[in-house]
Amino acid sequence: MKAVILAITAALVLSACATTTSPTGRRQVVGGVSQQQLDQLGAQAFAETKAKQTVNRDGRQNAYVQCVVNALVAQLPPQYRGVRWETAVFVDKEPNAFALPGGKVGVNTGIFTVARNQDQLAAVIGHEIGHVISRHHEERITKQLGTSGLLQVASALAGAAYGNAAASTVSQLGGMSAQALVLLPGSRTQENEADEVGQRLMAQAGFDPAQAVNLWQNMMAASGNRSPQWLSTHPDPANRIRELQRDVPALEPVYRQARQSGVTPKCG
């Protein structure tokens, strides 16, 4: 009976999926989880990460990150702009960052060794927020729902549908939330899309889009021109740099317009 219920639930969940278009015009299949559940998963993953890692209490660095986040968020569509975005800086030498549904941004202190000014930090965070507004987390979870190994997700959603508290959903998904939303890398298609969306976002927010190129050059130099381990599933850095360079001329007018309109972030 349990197997039957799980199968029916999975079928119901997958039938609720929808085809949509990403910010770059790419076809996506989403809808495996509701926005409320997605936000809960983001909050759970963020809490898990803060519990496992050392949170940096440096007020200046935290204010710096929050300032960049605020500048980028001000340019987002209304449904994301209206969220109270929470940030955390983690004591970790690995140059990494992430953003989660529900308005969560995490940055490792190691990122400051390669993101050497506010524009380069905006390139990092813009890329991560690009994943959120392109619905990449939802897209991945929707895809994962079709696999037998994640029928527990369908079970949890069924419980919520039949009246269990939302907290029960988060509890049952807690073991995989950080993995699904933080640890599992996006596909190369998603990474390329986040680059494109993030670079445009930083230009709209008054950050120099050419600095995204400098950021990745710094990344490569810091790793001895080898791709860092955490980038092993990402696009080839050399190709990534070329594509970012390719898009700079089209984004320069966007950047200039933002500055002329008074959008001039002063974060550090």
Active site residues: 128
Task: Give residue for tokens 């959120």.
Answer: 132
**Distance from C-alpha of 233 to C-alpha of 76, rounded to nearest angstrom:** 27
Residue 69 makes CB contacts below 8 A (sequence gap 6+) with: 85, 87, 105, 125, 129
Both structure tokens of 19: 């085809």
Is the CB of residue 198 less than 8 Å from the CB of residue 98?
Answer: no
Is the CB of residue 138 less than 8 Å from the CB of residue 33?
Answer: yes
**Distance from C-alpha of 91 to C-alpha of 89, rounded to nearest angstrom:** 7
Q: At what angle do helices 136-144 and 35-52 cross, to 10 degrees?
A: 100
Is the CB of residue 97 less than 8 Å from the CB of residue 128?
Answer: yes
Angle at CA 130, nearest 5°, toward 46 and 97?
Answer: 45
DSSP letter assigned to residue 180? I
